Amino acid sequence: MIEFRVDTGSGVPPYRQLVHQVEHALRLGRLRVGDRLPTVKDVAKRLVINPNTVLKAYRELEHKGLVKGRPGQGTFVERGLTGLPADKQAELRAGLERWLAEAYRAGMDSDGIAALVATVLHDFKS
Amino acid sequence: MIEFRVDTGSGVPPYRQLVHQVEHALRLGRLRVGDRLPTVKDVAKRLVINPNTVLKAYRELEHKGLVKGRPGQGTFVERGLTGLPADKQAELRAGLERWLAEAYRAGMDSDGIAALVATVLHDFKS
Amino acid sequence: MIEFRVDTGSGVPPYRQLVHQVEHALRLGRLRVGDRLPTVKDVAKRLVINPNTVLKAYRELEHKGLVKGRPGQGTFVERGLTGLPADKQAELRAGLERWLAEAYRAGMDSDGIAALVATVLHDFKS
Amino acid sequence: MIEFRVDTGSGVPPYRQLVHQVEHALRLGRLRVGDRLPTVKDVAKRLVINPNTVLKAYRELEHKGLVKGRPGQGTFVERGLTGLPADKQAELRAGLERWLAEAYRAGMDSDGIAALVATVLHDFKS
DNA sequence: GTGGTCTAGACCACA
DNA sequence: GTGGTCTAGACCACC
């Protein structure tokens, strides 16, 4: 089952972080159609946030057609997001991890890495 | 001169995006001490946002001691952020770009890449 | 500008009633692209409901791509819903009103009318 | 025997939909004193809802004095709801059906029709 | 117990 | 002032 986390310092609203994490998990194949998300109350308790905040995230996912809440039962994945096959992804992931390790060895801190990644990603997109 | 951008769909408040971009540029050496930032008016016009939003970002940067507004002249970089030497950075950047190109070739779209990068970065930090 | 109403006895959640009313207004041509909806606070005050309830309705409409909230400015119609030309609609409406008047004259109360309309509509759909 | 239906997308609680349908059927003369309603189990199975939901609807009807459960035998209509004489109703119904057919011919879809009916009904009441 | 709705009120980002 | 987020807590519908 997916494990959520919230980073309060990022400026991104917590409910959107949850949405992103589900989308990422779907894309990476960590969540599949039919899987059950943790209950609203569990997530709220674990992350020490308000149940309504979790509900808001689940609602947004429902609006996107990705999950479906079933009263009395829980919230379930309704539709997946196409991604690469698992082996291809693992390969890419390994490559990225190698690069990350190299950057760390070179003396870059995580802020610097984030900055570099952000600009390279942006330049690449445009 | 630095070129700002805002991504309204990300959930990050626009003024924080501007702050981040300046910090990133400082860290990557794209902005140096003495450089002038674009005027509040210009930025507001180009990004179609309210001048107050830009002003808020500049004030936050000034508060951090990174820039300094000189009335009637503009806003100038006051202090840099330590980063790696330029050649080291260029090397790392090239490596990252190679990885990105590979991911694209493998058929990943930019959302998928963002998802993968986000999770790998997170897993690495913890 | 559209005038909302809520019928607390119907069992339909108030926020959904608001959503329906905007959709109907779009379909009937009473609201057009670019029109501004009344502010969240105004609606809440007029209907004596909580602003969050109104906000929820507006959010749902935004999810459907029908309206777009612009912080500091208001909420605006983003996309219309195709309907018949106004004259055709007016004609149909007149016909329906004639029928309604006849039903009333025949001694039917509004509950009876609602029951009849509901079953006929349903039978027609299937 | 009455055939129930539930529209999960309407926002009206399923148990209320069942109650309404019985009341409508009584008003229209489709259900008469002494008629038997389908069993809770059957309804639950056909509509794929929880038996408790059906039970709740039947209890509400019993509470209103419209039906009466006879243990081991089923649930029976106890009291009718006054409506117009059958011929009058048939006449009105035919008129409404003519209007509906006309609206369809004019190119209106069922959502559009529902919107028009809703607003006209409302305007008429006020 | 599970999701869903509503209220009340605080605080933030934006114009 | 306008939309948007979050909290706290109550109540409902459903399983």
pLDDT at A122: 81
Lateral strand order in the sheet of C67-70: C36-37, C74-77, C67-70
B48-102 confidence digits (pLDDT tens): 899 999 999 999 999 999 999 998 899 999 998 877 787 888 899 999 999 999 9
Q: Most C CBs within 10 Å: which of A15, A63, A64, A66, as the mutation test of the C interface?
A: A63
Task: Give the gap in angstroms from C-alpha B72 to the nearest C-alpha of chain A.
Answer: 31
Q: Most B CBs within 10 Å: which of A3, A16, A27, A121, as the mutation test of the B interface?
A: A27
Distance, in Å, from the CA atom of B4 to the CA atom of B24, rounded to the nearest integer, reads 11
Lateral strand order in the sheet of D74-77: D36-37, D74-77, D67-70
By C-alpha distance, which of A67, B18, A103, C124 is closest to D110?
C124
C contacts of D110 (beta carbons < 8 Å):
121, 124-125
C64-118 confidence digits (pLDDT tens): 999 999 888 899 999 988 878 888 889 999 999 999 999 989 888 887 888 888 8
φ and ψ at residue A77, rounded to 5 degrees: -70, 130
pLDDT at B122: 83
Name the nucleotide nearest A71; use CA and C1': E3
What is the rounded average pLDDT for all residues in chain A?
A: 90
D interface with C, Cβ–Cβ below 8 Å: 5, 10-13, 16, 20, 23-24, 27-28, 83-84, 88-89, 91-93, 95-97, 99-100, 102-104, 106-108, 110-122, 124-125
C121 pLDDT band (50/70/90 cuts)? confident
Nucleotides of E under 7 A from a protein CB: 1-9, 12-15
Other C-beta atoms lying within 10 Å of the C-beta of residue D1: 10
Tokens of C1: 């500008």
Q: What value does the mean pLDDT take over residues C30-45?
A: 94
B33-42 confidence digits (pLDDT tens): 999 999 999 9
How do the residues of chain A divide into helix, strand and coil, expressed in percent and rounded to 5? 60, 10, 35
C interface with A, Cβ–Cβ below 8 Å: 60, 63
8 Å CB contact of B103 and A92: yes
Q: Which residues of chain A have pLDDT under 70?
A: 125-126
pLDDT at A3: 93
Length D9 CA → F8 C1' (Å): 29
Distance, in Å, from the CA atom of A120 to the CA atom of C15, rounded to the nearest integer, reads 43
